[in-house]
Amino acid sequence: MEMLDKELFDKVVKIAQSRGFVFNASSIYGGLRSSYDYGPLGSLLKQNISSIWWKSLRNVEADIYPVDTAIIQSSEVWKSSGHLNEFTDPMVECKNCNKRFRSDSDEVIECCENQEFTDPKQFNLMFETYSGPVKNENSQVFLRPETAQGIFINFENVLRTMRAKIPFGIANIGKSFRNEITPGQFIFRTREFEQMEIEFFCNESEEDKWMDYWIKERMEWYQSIGIDKKQLRLREHDESELAHYAKKTVDIEYLYPWGWGELEGIANRGSYDLHAHQESSGKDLTYFDSLDDKKYLPSVIEPAGGLTRTLFALLLSVYEEEKLENDETRTLFKFNFDIAPIQIGILPLSKKDDLIKVSEQINKTLNQNYRTEVDITQSIGKRYRRQDEIGTPYCITVDFDSLEDNCITVRNRDTMKQDRISIEKVSEYFEKL
């Protein structure tokens, strides 16, 4: 990482941790490497990203059905999907200090003075555990490494119960687990993370059309949540990089402080998965196309994104510093109004009961429709700084004049312009935005 970029990384991570977006997991016990808890603001931000994702699926030119599938499935699922054999990364171990590394990454490996590595071995990334009171081969299960398989194994269930017609999609958001050899870069690569995946089923003759559709759609979506277009690019996998199930894959990459990194992979999985599950389960997973009176296994286009990775890219992308006239620096997360964890901060000028009471009343009016917060601690200057830092688009100040004229001041985070408006019109003011 260049110095400047390293600085950006450090600053964003520091604010994320100190302001309640992300905490180190098990921090009171010294933390657990690569595990993070999302605090009040991070958890709101995660909810907002995921609800904007669900909402965007309403605009798709075909039906998209939501599912919410189990993390623990029959081990047969992972046998059939190929994960048991193929979901591996090459790993080397230093013969001297026994540290282990992924051997296919571009990063320079440095461990000890006498580093000497074994030949690469394939390391399976699935977490293993046991289901039920008996620990043996038969009770062994895996934590899902992707949400996608939960969709494939429910293809027939959704088809039948929803009377779905091709083309259509099934979407799933949730936790996935990978025992990454080298997790790191804060929440970019963790062992427990959240994915947002769509499997889009279509006729083979329309694969390319839908692949292009989803690439365009998903690129636009990242911009719509506030990620700068200049920091996004598409990269197609070459033959050697393609996953075992993929005919073609195009990644959407974000320019992280350490370089380009994947945000989402859009893959043409063909009928690989349905075919594999049909073979292994013996269940008919074909689709009957009444238009041309044919039964077939549909092709699948899969936009597979990371929710937690997107959250990090968003924080990096909207972080800004502004020099003020008095030479102080203002630090901001310039979140869109829709995505900001707190949309409106309500700040009584002092801790006087009357001002707090008016603030609480305004809060009551606004918090049914907006994410609001009444902030009464510390000086008004410090509170403004905090609201800027956590990316609150609007702050309302209740001052002593408010008690006389029933008016309040609304300050815009980005322009710092202030409007004096009547308390009665406060809802109307935000509705009009």
CB-CB contact of 380 with 347 (8 Å) = yes
Distances in Å between the Cα of 350 and the Cα atoms of 92, 213, 255, 376, 385 are 61, 54, 43, 7, 16
| Binding flag, residue 195, ligand ATP (CB under 6 A) | yes
Residues near ligand ATP (CB under 6 A), total: 16
Nearer to ligand ATP, 195 or 343 (CB): 195
| Binding flag, residue 180, ligand ATP (CB under 6 A) | yes
Structure tokens at 370: 């907006």
Q: Can you spell out the DSSP letters for 178-240?
A: ---SS-BTTTTB-SEEEEEEEEEEE-GGGHHHHHHHHHHHHHHHHHHTT--GGGEEEEEPPGG
The interface mask with ligand ATP, positions 260-289, x = CB under 6 A, is --xxxx------------------------
Of the candidates 232, 156, 155, 162, the residue with the CA atom closest to the CA atom of residue 200: 155
Q: Can you spell out the DSSP letters for 20-47?
A: TSEEETTGGGT--TT-EEE-HHHHHHHH
How far apart CA 93 and CA 85 sit, in angstroms, is 21
User: Which parts of 57-131 fold into alpha helices (H)?
Assistant: 75-81, 83-86
Structure tokens at 252: 């959407």
Backbone angles phi, psi at 140, to 5 degrees: -70, 130
Residue span binding ligand ATP (CB under 6 A) among the ranges 17-25, 39-47, 214-222, 256-264? 256-264
| Binding flag, residue 360, ligand ATP (CB under 6 A) | no
How far apart CA 172 and CA 152 sit, in angstroms, is 11
Residue span binding ligand ATP (CB under 6 A) among the ranges 65-73, 78-86, 300-308, 336-344? 300-308
Residue nearest to ligand ATP (CB): 306
Nearer to ligand ATP, 207 or 251 (CB): 251
Nearer to ligand ATP, 190 or 343 (CB): 190
Report the residue from 83, 144, 178, 269 that binds ligand ATP according to the rule CB under 6 A: 178
| Binding flag, residue 46, ligand ATP (CB under 6 A) | no
Residue span binding ligand ATP (CB under 6 A) among the ranges 11-19, 96-104, 158-166, 298-306? 298-306
Report the residue from 57, 215, 297, 304 that binds ligand ATP according to the rule CB under 6 A: 304
To the nearest whole angstrom, how small is the minimum distance from the Cβ of residue 310 to ligand ATP?
7
Q: Which residues bind ligand ATP (CB under 6 A)?
A: 146, 178, 180, 189-190, 193, 195, 262-265, 304-306, 308-309
